[in-house]
Amino acid sequence: MAKLELAPVQASIEDVLKKRREKETYDVMPTDIEGVALQVEAGKRLDILQKTIGEFAILGADYAARKARLDKLVKQQKEPNEEIKKIAQTHEGLRGIQSEPGKFKLNVFPRHETSYDPELLKESLGGAYSSVVHEDFEVSVLIAPGYQTNEGPLSSELLRAALIKGLVDLGLSEAELSMMIDTQVVLRVDEEKLADLLADDRVSLLEGAGEVTKETWAITVDPLKKS
């Protein structure tokens, strides 16, 4: 099958936004293949070879049949997926199964979402804090702290004051801005490095410094490699 070259994108932003608002309609164009028609954008004249229509019909039929089989398999996987996770959850330490006859290795394991208390984490880590935790000030963009300004290193308080001053100079009320502007510190914790420090007993976390907020279980399957 000859490889087709894609035409350059010609749609304008106006056309794209308009189509998002309106439900796109299609004209049905009959073909010389019995029972097969093409869907074409309403009002468009399509220039296409009969050979291409035939290739398109074969590809479409193969894709549709395969999609139906995949959808059926996904549905069939739902029950064993839940049962595998349930067995692993109720048997502490169970993380999968290996099968030489089936030539597969199935892994089942938990994934955790975590959150941290900035002050307790800083107190827990001491001098190691800066190597483990990266701070960003969230306004509408992320800004790395510590940038030197005429007023000293950039901080959340300094950034907030500068924003308020700039908007006040534009004529907005300072009292209203104090309620409108909300800056917060966003932590990016290097959990791999933190785990190493905890394992080596170089630091310990105070109660409440971090917590697991959510646990979900995942299943992966890989070919069983011969040893």
In a structure prediction context, what are the per-residue pLDDT tens digits for the chain, which is 227 residues long? 556 666 566 667 677 777 777 777 889 999 999 999 999 988 888 899 999 999 999 999 999 999 999 999 999 999 999 999 999 999 999 999 999 999 999 999 999 889 998 899 999 999 999 899 987 766 554 456 676 777 778 777 777 777 777 777 877 776 766 666 666 677 889 999 999 999 999 999 999 999 999 999 999 999 998 76
DSSP 91-160: STT--EEEETTTTEEEEEEEEEEEEE-HHHHHHHHGGGHHHHEEEEEESSSEE-TT-EETTEE--HHHHH
Say which residue the tokens 């439900």 belong to: 23
Give the per-residue pLDDT at 145.
Answer: 64
Give the per-residue pLDDT at 227.
Answer: 65
For 93, the token pair is 């330490």
Q: What b-and-e string marks burial along 16-37, b requiring 16 or more CB atoms within 10 Å of the CB?
A: eeeeeeeeeeeeeeeeeeeeee
3-class SS shares of the chain: helix, strand, coil, % to 5: 40, 25, 30
Say which residue the tokens 């070259």 belong to: 5
33, 57 in Cβ contact below 8 A?
Answer: yes
* Nearest CA-CA partner of 118 in 107, 133, 106: 133
Say which residue the tokens 């917590």 belong to: 211
Give the per-residue pLDDT at 149.
Answer: 77
Whole-number Å distance between alpha carbons of 131 and 147: 17
158, 164 in Cβ contact below 8 A?
Answer: no
Give the per-residue pLDDT at 122.
Answer: 92
Give the per-residue pLDDT at 142.
Answer: 47
Whole-number Å distance between alpha carbons of 100 and 226: 9
CB proximity list for 12: less than 8 A, separation 6 or greater: none
Whole-number Å distance between alpha carbons of 38 and 143: 51
